[in-house]
Structure 1
Amino acid sequence: MKRKKVFVSGCYDMLHSGHVAFFKEASSYGDLYVGIGSDETILHYKGRKTVYSEQERLYMVKAIRYVTDAYINAGSGIMDFVETLEMVKPDVFVVNHDGANSEKEALCKKLGIEYVVLDRKPDEGLKARSTTSLRKEGSMLPTRLDLAGTWIDQPYVSEFAPGWALTISLEPTFDIQERGGLSTSTRNMMKKIWPVQLPDGDPETLAKLAFCFENDPIKRQQGGHISGAQDALGICMPGLCRQYYNRSFWPEKLESCHDREILDWLESHLCLIFMFPRRSNVSVTVNSAFEREKKGELTYAEVGRMVTDLTRAADDCWKAILDKNLAAFASAYRDSFHAQVALFPAMMQPGVQDCIDRHAADGQVMAWKMAGAGGGGYLILVVNNREAFCANHPEAICPVIRRRDY
């Protein structure tokens, strides 16, 4: 008896186990033929470029054992498969529940094709997958950790004393908590243009694109806050990066360290502890040294000395890291934290000091500071022996520094 022909159609970008399970179930109705949306169709219909080109997607779909053959659809829009359907002349058209609509059903009725709607269901033991959920949850965009010199990327800070900000780009090897000081707002913004991963290209150029996208002219006209460039640069620039700010949102100079031995050393002495999300009603800039200077409570020179303490600590951190001098690094790191809090005392919200005290009591902890603007979020610890510390603190996260591709 001649087997029936079965047809399905879709984008099949970011090919995953949910697609394979769908192909498997659809092929139970007969020999399976697949129509694939073209790059141009996806760009115009979904408003984004594909992760994989149409030829790559065709290659991958054809390689799946449940598929008899596959084609790139010649049409456009949601009904781009019509010409492929007429060429294949299937007996059955299968769609999943999300892809079902009255137009497809009416076309099948007109052509005498059986119309079958399937519910999404993963194979036994596998997690349910969809491209949408992967785009929301499966982003491989890095995040950034600010090591020292935080706040210097704001012109109202660097006008008192220019200096360096130090960042490291982190692989997304853990669930990154929102409002935690790891630049999630910038990272979430970047997902709008690069949903899955950073594209190939010069890291500084990518950072500049992200910075300009986040801080668009309309936002500036409406008086919105301008995000510091160290967020975008910290995410995009691999390894250890320092950026020199002098009365401008964009740094005058950039320097990076990609020495694997140094990065391995730095990585081995850092741990993250998530305390609690920064509370939505908290402003860490309240009662800052800069507000007090405007009120006349502090002189310009006094604030300048405070900012100089911040920039000096960043310099000392950089030198200690390059020398792999743990004692000097820990000392400079503590200085960086104290300088930040002196400038922005509201960083120390209720609960922060308790968390510091609990973990500082461990003999492995040598220094600490809060990630980002503080007020909560992640506590960064400099530890003598990361293995020993993590054995006593299962909640600790061991960050992985993103290395440059050679």
Structure 2
Amino acid sequence: MPDPLQTYLGRIPLRMALAGGWIDQPFVSRHNPDPPGSMVVVSLVPNFRPMDRAGFATGTRAVAMRLWNGRLPRRPPDQLVRELYAAENQGRTDPSGSQDMIGLVYPGINRLDYDYRVEGGIFPAHIETLTDRRVVRWLERVLHVLPVEPRPEGYYPLGHRNLDPAWIARLGRSGRDCFEAIRHRDLHALGRSFNECMACWEAILPDTVRHPTLRVDLKALLRAYQRRYPGAMYSGCGGGYLFVVSEEPVPGSFHVQIRVE
């Protein structure tokens, strides 16, 4: 008998984005003086339903569910990424970055290296994947996911842009640092990469954490968790979930299961 939960949730994976996010957008990466800039995405087993508009690429996943009838086709992942990118972004003025598609399609923990000189920064120049079981289990254990609130209707994260090359270079380095911290299972380095990424978001795109439509004081909430734990960052612009790095339990949070196959 089919699992009713799996029947409801579907078989398309979920995507979680860690440090370096926004470097996948060409309007950001074109100003990077130190390319490539990196970000980290993690493919997840779809064993829960995340909030919509909360940084888990649920919109991209919905397109994938329709496009591929609820499961990933057995074709090269780079082909699937481009097919999904085209399907979701057709006619859009603010296209979703390719990290959304890559995180759904590629298994494991992935570092995406974006260089504006390669395909205009739309797709990464290089992808490095981690599927080592010890690394995966460690990240599952120390990464705590705390629900905050979905992005409200009317929210727009790109109203103010400060595309300072120095900050953009730091953003791209935060993704590299994040991936190396995961590779070496370094809790405090992972936390620092989260904190650095959020500092970059605040500097480059301040509306990601402060906007008239937001009901939660995202900056104050973030600071409180960063002071209490080694590091914290939001799942996406406008809140969504808070990712907290800790060896200790984080009240109210849950863990995710990383897809390695």
Runs of 4+ in 1 over 4 A off after TM superposition: 357-361
CA offset digits 1:186-238 (Å, max 9, x no partner): 1111111123222223222222221122123xx1xxx5222100000011111
Partner of 1:193: 67
Give the distance between the partners of 1:354 and 1:304, measured in 2 at CA. 27
Question: Does residue 367 in structure 1 map to residue 231 in structure 2?
Answer: yes
Question: Corresponding residue for 1:73?
Answer: none
Structure 1, residues 74-96: CA drift from partner, whole Å, max 9, x if none?
Answer: xxxxxxxxxxxxxxxxxxxxxxx
Q: TM-score, normalised by structure 2?
A: 0.88
Residue 134 and residue 242 in structure 1: after superposition, are their counterparts in 2 closer, same or farther (change >3 A)?
closer
Contact persistence 1:369–1:380 (CA under 8 A) = yes
Please, what is the CA RMSD of the aligned residues?
2.1
**Distance in 2 separating the partners of 1:205 and 1:249:** 14
Shift of 1:269: 0.9
What is the 5 A alignment of 1:84-163? 137-161=8-32, 162=35, 163=37
User: Counterpart in 2 of 1:237?
Assistant: 106
Q: Does structure 1 conserve the Cα–Cα contact (< 8 Å) formed by 2:64 and 2:70? A: no
Question: Is contact 1:142–1:169 with CA below 8 Å preserved after alignment?
Answer: yes
- Report deviation, 1:356: 2.9
Tell me how far 1:325 sits from its aligned partner.
1.4
Match of 1:337 among 185, 198, 207: 198
* Structure 1 segment 150-229 matched on structure 2, within 5 A: 150-161=21-32, 162=35, 163-216=37-90, 219=91, 224-229=93-98
Cα distance in 1, alignment partners of residues 87 and 6 from structure 2: 23
CA drift of 1:140 comes to 2.3
Identify which of 213, 233, 240 aligns with 1:377.
240
User: Which residue is equivalent to 2:171?
Assistant: 310
Amino acid paired to 2:219: Q
Rounded Cα–Cα distance in structure 2 between residues aligned with 1:321 and 1:16:
35
8 Å contact from structure 2 (residues 111, 175) kept in 1: no
**Rg bigger for which structure?**
1
Give the counterpart letter for 1:147 in structure 2: L
Amino acid at match of 1:370: Y
Alignment partners' CA distance in 1, 2:137 and 2:168: 30
Query: Aligned partners of 1:357, 1:175: CA distance in 2, in Å?
Result: 27
Return the alpha-carbon distance in structure 1 between the equivalents of residues 186 and 65 of structure 2: 37
Residue from 261, 264, 276 that aligns with 2:137: 264
Structure 2 residue aligned with 1:320:
181
Note the alpha carbon deviations across 1:337-374, whole angstroms, 9 max, x for none.
1112211111113412343356456x5x22111112x1
Cα distance in 1, alignment partners of residues 173 and 223 from structure 2: 26
Structure 1, unpaired ranges of 5+: 1-14, 18-128, 291-302
Question: Quick one: percent identity of the two aligned structures?
Answer: 27
User: What secondary structure does 1:180 align onto?
Assistant: coil
Q: Which residue identity is paired with 1:232?
A: M
C-alpha change, 1:368 and 1:320, in structure 2 (3 Å) is same
Counterpart of 2:99, as a letter, is Q
Is the alpha carbon distance of 1:254 and 1:280 closer, same or farther for their aligned partners in structure 2, counting shifts above 3 Å? same
Deviation at 1:155, TM superposition (A): 0.8
Q: Which shifted more, 200-209 or 338-347?
A: 200-209
Residues in 1 aligned to 2:158 and 2:60: alpha-carbon distance in whole angstroms:
19
> Is the contact between residue 39 and residue 174 of structure 2 (CA under 8 Å) also seen in structure 1?
no
Distance between the aligned counterparts of 2:222 and 2:233, measured in 1? 9
Counterpart AA for 1:243: L
Preserved CA contact (<8 Å) 2:225 2:232:
no
Number of residue pairs aligned between Structure 1 and Structure 2:
249
**TM-score normalised over the length of structure 1:** 0.58
Match of 2:219 in 1: 353
CA contact (8 A) 1:275 1:355 kept: no
Distance 1:193 1:286, change over 3 A: same
Post-superposition shift, 1:384? 2.0
